[in-house]
Amino acid sequence: MSDVLERLSPLFRPRGIVLAGVSSHPGKFGAVAFHNLLRFGFAGPIFPIKPDGAEVFGRPTLSEVSQVPDGAADLAFLCTPAKLNAGLLRACAAKGVRAAYVASGGYAEAGEDGRELERELVETAEELGVALAGPNGQGIVSTPVSMCAQIVAPYPPPGPLSMVSQSGNVGSSFMNYGCLTGVGYSKGISCGNAAQLEVAEFIEYYAEDPDTLATLVYLEGLEDGRRFAEVARAHALRKPLVVLRGGATRQGQRAASSHTGALASDDAVFDGVCRLAGAVRAASVEEAYEAAAAFATQPLPRGPRTLIVTAAGGWGVLTADACVRAGLELIELPDDLRRRIDGMVPSRWSGGNPIDLAGGETRDTIPEVLDLAAAHPEVDAVIYLGIGIQAAQANQFRSGPYYPDHGLDRIVDFHERQDGRYAQAASEASELHGKPVLVATDLALTDRDYGNSGPLGVQRSGRIVWPSGHRAVRTLSQMLRYSRWLSHRST
């Protein structure tokens, strides 16, 4: 096992957890963390510490750390007042704890006294050889061991993503998108004040972690920019890294007696750092999440040649514009592909790219067209628009006053089955031909309550649905940039 995997293993894959600061008041951090660990079924023993030893959530607690069996826990999760934590760390280490997450506030964020307590905490951790995350952080999630060691929601479904965030709430947002779309997380951590373990260490860990296929990072500031650049590059050479940065438009206090100095904004320099490191920059939480989810679930495009398949005209037109603006190549529809489609649908179809079948499709047309599109040697990527419109009408039929009479029951079944098949066909074509097929529809947002079989089918295939063609195009251009960086760097 590599050094970083070994060192951070008790943080992400603890055998047992000492939880200090457990309270009988469900509004307190310690009670919330205890609840969340129990609620999601952490796969190991939990040793809640409460000075009076009283039951919490019907479970006994220990009044002192000294009552924890030797070697039974390797992670301490501390929600206790800051001034107690260095002592608790010592008591935990004596029991075999090798990592600690400090959720408590009252440290560097709280002024000079807090800074002193933070220094003492770090010194203690270093003396004991304990890996220290936090303080003043939201917590850790690790789905392989069913661990939700957090003082807030959410707990995302298991999945191929991991995240590290310098803001607890942005970390929650990253994970909430996992809850929304179903493409979930292996691990997530909020760095808090990052007194000892910083973003760079977690990037290194995720680069090595076999459960992580793509990593999301939220950053505001960096102690050591060069180290970040190095670990980001090493990560990107192995797997995709998506970076969202806050404070990017803040004007640096820079002496600018040169043109170069005046032009060297934080944002411009950081852009250069990411470009060279192969880290994909995103401008918003949703953009970052969508890029990471695509990286983790779809093949990379080998080039810019994009083909759009759409169920209706306007979406295709808008998405075609977006492709061109994003620097993707909206190819001329290859002749052989045109002839194949000519043989499948009435002549009113678009005859070009976007492929708009203009309602002329029959039972098997869309699955066949998706397969032909992804298979074609002149196509690097496919964007499929408009899934779910049949199932959306089916829902109107089903919920209206005429159902199930007048033949509505049969058509409802047919429509719902069809959209489910289209979702499956998109994912199968993508996997079979090793090319990205991005499915976009706003029904992903509007039709969640009843589960439209189109977007729901995409989710069942383990992928995300983009809520618009523009957002799919944005992701595709990020995938292309990373793919180019990778091929440039590995030759």
Partner 1 sequence: MSYTLSEHESKRLLADAGLPVPEERLAADAAAAARAADALGYPVALKLCGRGIAHKTERGLVRLGLADPEAVRREAEDLLGLRRAGEESAQVLVGRMAGGSRELIAGLVRDPQFGPCVMLGLGGIFAEALGDVAFALAPLDPPDAEDLIGALQHAHLLDAFRGEPPVDRAALARLLVALGEVAAARPEIRSIDLNPLRIVDARPVVLDALVELEDGA
Q: How far is CA 93 from the centre of its chain?
A: 33
Binding mask 195-234 for partner 1 (x = CB under 8 A): --------------------------xx--xx--x-----
Q: Residue 257 or 347: which CB sits closer to partner 1?
A: 257
Q: Residue 71 or 252: which CB sits closer to partner 1?
A: 252
Tokens of 121: 């905490």
Instruction: Give start and end residues of each alpha helix (H) in 278-388.
Output: 285-297, 313-325, 335-342, 365-375
Strand ranges, E, within 357-447: 381-385, 437-440
Given 52, 249, 449, 488, the residue binding partner 1 (CB under 8 A)? 488
Restricted to residues 245-264, the positions that interact with partner 1 (CB under 8 A) are 252, 254-255, 257-264
Listed ranges 10-18, 125-133, 166-174, 272-280: which one lies at the site for partner 1 (CB under 8 A): 272-280
Q: Least distance from C-beta 239 to partner 1, angstroms?
A: 20
Q: Least distance from C-beta 261 to partner 1, angstroms?
A: 5
Q: Least distance from C-beta 229 to partner 1, angstroms?
A: 6
Helix axes 408-433, 389-399, angle to 10 degrees: 160
Count of CB atoms within 10 A of residue 405's CB? 8
Q: Least distance from C-beta 251 to partner 1, angstroms?
A: 13
Tokens of 437: 């097929």
What phi and psi values does residue 63 have, to the nearest 5 degrees? -85, -20
Q: Least distance from C-beta 329 to partner 1, angstroms?
A: 15
Q: Residue 384 or 485: which CB sits closer to partner 1?
A: 485
Core vs surface per residue 227-245: b (16+ CB within 10 A) or e: bbbebbbbbbeebbbbbbb
Q: Residue 1 or 255: which CB sits closer to partner 1?
A: 255
Q: Residue 68 or 322: which CB sits closer to partner 1?
A: 322
Q: Least distance from C-beta 119 to partner 1, angstroms?
A: 22
Q: Residue 94 or 269: which CB sits closer to partner 1?
A: 269
Residue from 227, 226, 220, 231 nearest 190 by CA? 220
- How many residues of this chain interact with partner 1, rule: CB under 8 A? 27
Given 208, 220, 266, 329, the residue binding partner 1 (CB under 8 A)? 266
Q: Residues 47, 49, 52, 57: what is their CA dihedral angle, to the nearest 10 degrees?
A: -60
Given 54, 94, 269, 283, the residue binding partner 1 (CB under 8 A)? 269
Q: How many whole angstroms separate alpha carbon 167 and alpha carbon 282?
A: 16
Q: How many whole angstroms separate alpha carbon 341 and alpha carbon 350?
A: 10
Q: Is 271 an interacting residue with respect to partner 1 (CB under 8 A)? A: yes
Q: Least distance from C-beta 254 to partner 1, angstroms?
A: 8
Q: Residue 271 or 431: which CB sits closer to partner 1?
A: 271
Q: Residue 25 or 488: which CB sits closer to partner 1?
A: 488
Residue 17 host element (H or E): strand 17-20
Q: How many whole angstroms separate alpha carbon 344 and alpha carbon 340?
A: 7
What SS3 class is residue 57?
coil
> Across the chain, which distance is largest between two alpha carbons, in Å?
80
Q: Least distance from C-beta 375 to partner 1, angstroms?
A: 31
Q: Least distance from C-beta 491 to partner 1, angstroms?
A: 10
Listed ranges 101-109, 271-279, 289-297, 336-344: which one lies at the site for partner 1 (CB under 8 A): 271-279
Q: Which long-range contacts (CB under 8 A, 24 or more apart) does 392-399 make?
A: 392/443, 392/447, 392/452, 392/454, 395/447, 395/450, 395/452
Q: Least distance from C-beta 231 to partner 1, angstroms?
A: 14
Given 247, 272, 359, 434, the residue binding partner 1 (CB under 8 A)? 272
Residue from 239, 253, 204 nearest 224 by CA? 204
Q: Residue 15 or 481: which CB sits closer to partner 1?
A: 481
Residue from 484, 209, 441 nearest 318 by CA? 441
Given 100, 273, 322, 331, the residue binding partner 1 (CB under 8 A)? 273
Give the residues lining the site for partner 1 (CB under 8 A).
221-222, 225-226, 229, 252, 254-255, 257-264, 266, 268-273, 275-276, 488-489
